[in-house]
Every structure is written in structure tokens, then in C-alpha cells.
């Protein structure tokens, strides 16, 4: 193998204790899940991978070694150290190259407040961004030693699910993002422009959004059932679209990528990274205004042939941007001599 004997360490500064066994549980979110999947792909390439966080356990799961970050041996020289968000973590490790995996837009004032300036100057890491939107927002002063965009992608479980191109879900759409990501805007469009067209239309939102209970009875808004990751995957297949306006803080929007891999069109305004995640008329629709947003939603809910045609088109793109491709992007950039 080309990268045999190469060594990578991933360090998470959060207080969350987790390892590869938690990938389907409620403890971790998109960032942690993505780094676990990336680590496992590195192992398949013959790379030795240590993954360190606040765990008090020692585990080897799918070839990745998990242990507490306080137990890192500085006598070991890694080929690459990856710190999740915090360059201060490089003080724990010896490595030839360093990268900060950034999961935020982090303006200069936050960069300084989070005490990133000195460790960036000291350790000279490359900043890894997840999309062009984030890349353009991270200024030179928060990425002195270069930046590179390498995306993430979905858990392979989303691709293991067989998609029936002829299956026609009920006339319902879903919003499964946090409520502070323009849910108010979506509900306003739903109430004023979508639900009045057909009172059989349904919008499903996440159960913890209790502030919206008043809408549930009269306007076709219902609460989703929350379950395991596999239950969520099977749930999402039963909607016609993900309706998500987007938000300026979105730097990748893994939720949208997951929907697309399940052939669920995304209807959005393209705010934040959504304009990169969605290909108009290929994997969803980027609306220019509320009327367009409503029209695209109504069309997918009302026109069965239109929906099925788009679904078939999406099914042919499911395998784009695999973890194999992404891990090779990392290895080519950081591990090639």
C-alpha cells in the first residue's frame, strides 16, 4: 500500500467522550461522525490512526485506536496531526505536518477570543475548510499558513439503503435541522403559500421544537419521531423533499447531503453552503424568493411524475464524493513526499 507505515493522529478538544462505537448514537454530531469515518478510511489505506479526545477508555474499533488525549506520547512522530477546531491541541503531539479541521466560519474577533492566534503562529497548521463558502469567509489572518477545501460526505449506511425509484411517498416534506436555522421563515412560507393550496400537505419538524406546537393542528405541521441513525435513514425515504431555506452559519450542511444521497430533493434559498450542496434541477431547487420556494415545494408534492423523474435522476448520482475519494484528497495533499 502506498501509505503503509504512515501515521496520523486526530485530536478533539471537546469534553465529549466517544469512540467509533458511538457513531449511531445520540452523543456525537456531524463533525465527530465525519472524523471517525475519515479515520476508518485512512486505516483502509494502510495508515496507522490514533484518535484522541476526552474518553477514559482505550479501544481499537475498525482499526482506529481511541484513547485519552492526555496520554499522547510526544516521542512518537506522526506524519500528520489533525486538530478539530483548536490549534492549541498541537502542544500535545509531535508531527511533521499539521492541519486544523475547521467546522465554523470563525471571524477574526472570534479567532482571537478563542486563543488561536499564538498557536497558529507557533505550529503553522494548514486550515481545512469544507466548502468554498467557508474558504472565502476565512481570512488570511485566520489561516496564515494556507487553507484548503476538502469536503466531507455521508455515513456509508446512507448508500447501503436501496432506493426504489418508483416508490411514491405521501405528500409530505421534512425539516430536520435545528430550529434556529430559519425555521420561522419556512413556517411562514408554509402557512401563507403552501398549505392553503392543499390541506393534505404535511410538513414534519423535529419534536424538540416545542415553540411551534401551536401550528400543528391547523396547518398540517407534524412532529417527527426521533430514533437511531438507521431509523432516521428509513424515515427520510418516506418524504418527498427536504425543505430548508439555509442559514449563513452553514458551512457544509451534512443534513442536505444525507437527503440527497437518499434521493430526497432539497428546496432551499441557497444561503450559506447550500448553494454548493444543491445543484438546481438536479438534486433540488434553489429558490430566489418565497414564491419560488413555495412553487417548487408544491410541484414536488402535487406532480407525481415530476417527483419520480427527479428522483430517478438523483439515484444516478448517489456514489459521488465517497470517503475513499475524500481520504485520498487528504493523503495526496499531506502525505505525499
Note whether residue 259 is domain-resident.
yes
Whether 329 and 288 map to the same domain: the answer is: no
Q: Using DSSP bridges, classify how beta strands 48-53 and 59-61 pair: parallel, antiparallel or unpaired.
A: unpaired
Whether 99 and 179 map to the same domain: the answer is: no
Note whether residue 15 is domain-resident.
yes
Whether 166 and 311 map to the same domain: the answer is: yes
Whether 178 and 111 map to the same domain: the answer is: no
Whether 74 and 217 map to the same domain: the answer is: no
| Predicted confidence (pLDDT) at residue 303 exceeds the cutoff of 60 | yes
Question: pLDDT of 90-146, one tens digit each?
Answer: 999 999 999 999 988 888 888 999 999 999 999 999 999 999 999 999 888 888 899
For residue 337, name the pLDDT band (cuts at 50, 70, 90).
Answer: low
Q: How far is CA 166 from CA 239, 263, 300, 304, 315, in A?
A: 14, 12, 14, 10, 11
Q: How far is CA 246 from CA 43, 181, 186, 251, 314, in A?
A: 34, 7, 10, 10, 20
For residue 55, name the pLDDT band (cuts at 50, 70, 90).
Answer: very high
| Predicted confidence (pLDDT) at residue 275 exceeds the cutoff of 80 | yes
What is the pLDDT of the chain when averaged over all its residues? 92
> In this predicted structure, what is the pLDDT of residue 178?
80
| Predicted confidence (pLDDT) at residue 215 exceeds the cutoff of 70 | no
Question: pLDDT of 151-188, one tens digit each?
Answer: 999 999 999 989 999 999 999 999 998 878 899 899 99
Q: What are the φ and ψ backbone dihedral angles of 94, each rounded to 5 degrees?
A: -110, 130
User: In sequence order, what DSSP letters do the residues of 26-61 get, joined into one string?
Assistant: SS--HHHHHHHHHHHHHHHTT-EEEEEES-SS-EEE
Whether 129 and 259 map to the same domain: the answer is: no
Whether 274 and 325 map to the same domain: the answer is: no
> In this predicted structure, what is the pLDDT of residue 211?
58
For residue 216, name the pLDDT band (cuts at 50, 70, 90).
Answer: low
Query: What is the three-class DSSP state of 67?
Result: strand
Provide the domain limits for residue 213.
157-315
> In this predicted structure, what is the pLDDT of residue 67?
98
Whether 82 and 209 map to the same domain: the answer is: no
Here the cell at position 175 is 425539516
> In this predicted structure, what is the pLDDT of residue 212?
55
For residue 62, name the pLDDT band (cuts at 50, 70, 90).
Answer: very high
Q: Cα–Cα distance between 259 and 271 in angstroms, integer? A: 17
Whether 148 and 208 map to the same domain: the answer is: no
Q: Cα–Cα distance between 127 and 124 in angstroms, integer? A: 9
Here the cell at position 138 is 476565512
Q: For residue 53, what are the β-bridge partners?
A: 68
Helices then strands, each counted (H, E), the chain:
12, 14
Give the residue with greater pLDDT, 313 vs 212: 313
Whether 121 and 168 map to the same domain: the answer is: no
Note whether residue 115 is domain-resident.
yes
Could you tell me where the DSSP H helices lie in 114-247? Answer: 117-123, 132-137, 157-160, 183-189, 229-236
Our CA dihedral for 122, 124, 130, 135, rounded to 10 degrees, sits at 100
Whether 111 and 176 map to the same domain: the answer is: no
Q: How far is CA 253 from CA 31, 150, 250, in A?
A: 11, 14, 6
Q: Cα–Cα distance between 325 and 153 in angstroms, integer? A: 10
Q: How many domains does the chain have?
A: 2
Residue 79 sits in a domain whose CATH number is: 3.40.50.2000
> In this predicted structure, what is the pLDDT of residue 202?
96
| Predicted confidence (pLDDT) at residue 57 exceeds the cutoff of 60 | yes
Note whether residue 2 is domain-resident.
no
Note whether residue 327 is domain-resident.
yes
Among the residue ranges 63-67, 148-152, 321-325, the one predicted with the least confidence is 321-325
Question: pLDDT of 248-265, one tens digit each?
Answer: 988 889 999 999 999 999
Here the cell at position 100 is 486544523
Whether 172 and 261 map to the same domain: the answer is: yes
Q: What is the pTM of this model?
A: 0.91
Amino acid at each position: 500500500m502506498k501509505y503503509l507505515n504512515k501515521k496520523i493522529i486526530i485530536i478533539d478538544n471537546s469534553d465529549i467522550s466517544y469512540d467509533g462505537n458511538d457513531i449511531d448514537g445520540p452523543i456525537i454530531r456531524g463533525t465527530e461522525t465525519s472524523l471517525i469515518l475519515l479515520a476508518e478510511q485512512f486505516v483502509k489505506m494502510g495508515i496507522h490512526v490514533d484518535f484522541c479526545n476526552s474518553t477514559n477508555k482505550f479501544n481499537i474499533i475498525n482499526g482506529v485506536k481511541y484513547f485519552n488525549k492526555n496520554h499522547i506520547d510526544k516521542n512518537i512522530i506522526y506524519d500528520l496531526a489533525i486538530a478539530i477546531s483548536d490549534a492549541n491541541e498541537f502542544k500535545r503531539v509531535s508531527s511533521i505536518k499539521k492541519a486544523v479541521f475547521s467546522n465554523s466560519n470563525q471571524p477574526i474577533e472570534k479567532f482571537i477570543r478563542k486563543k488561536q492566534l499564538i498557536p497558529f503562529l507557533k505550529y503553522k497548521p494548514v486550515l481545512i475548510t469544507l466548502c468554498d463558502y467557508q474558504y472565502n469567509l476565512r481570512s488570511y489572518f485566520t489561516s496564515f499558513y494556507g487553507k484548503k477545501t476538502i469536503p466531507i460526505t455521508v455515513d456509508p449506511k446512507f448508500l447501503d439503503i436501496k432506493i426504489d425509484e418508483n416508490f411514491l411517498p405521501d405528500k409530505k416534506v421534512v425539516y430536520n435541522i435545528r430550529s434556529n436555522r430559519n425555521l420561522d421563515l419556512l413556517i411562514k412560507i408554509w402557512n401563507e403559500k403552501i398549505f392553503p393550496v392543499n390541506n393534505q400537505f404535511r410538513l414534519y419538524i423535529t419534536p424538540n421544537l416545542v415553540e411551534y406546537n401551536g401550528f400543528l393542528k391547523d396547518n398540517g405541521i407534524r412532529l417527527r419521531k426521533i430514533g437511531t441513525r438507521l431509523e432516521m435513514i428509513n424515515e427520510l425515504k418516506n418524504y418527498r423533499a427536504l425543505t430548508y431555506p439555509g442559514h449563513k452559519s452553514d458551512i457544509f450542511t451534512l443534513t442536505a447531503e444525507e437527503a440527497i444521497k437518499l434521493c430526497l430533493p432539497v428546496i432551499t434559498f441557497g444561503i450559506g453552503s447550500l448553494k454548493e450542496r444543491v445543484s438546481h434541477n438536479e438534486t433540488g431547487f434553489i429558490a430566489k424568493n418565497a414564491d419560488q420556494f413555495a412553487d417548487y415545494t408544491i410541484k414536488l408534492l402535487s406532480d407525481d411524475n415530476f417527483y419520480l423523474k427527479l428522483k430517478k435522476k438523483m439515484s444516478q448520482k448517489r456514489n459521488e464524493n465517497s470517503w475513499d475519494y475524500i481520504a485520498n484528497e487528504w493523503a495526496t495533499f499531506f502525505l505525499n513526499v
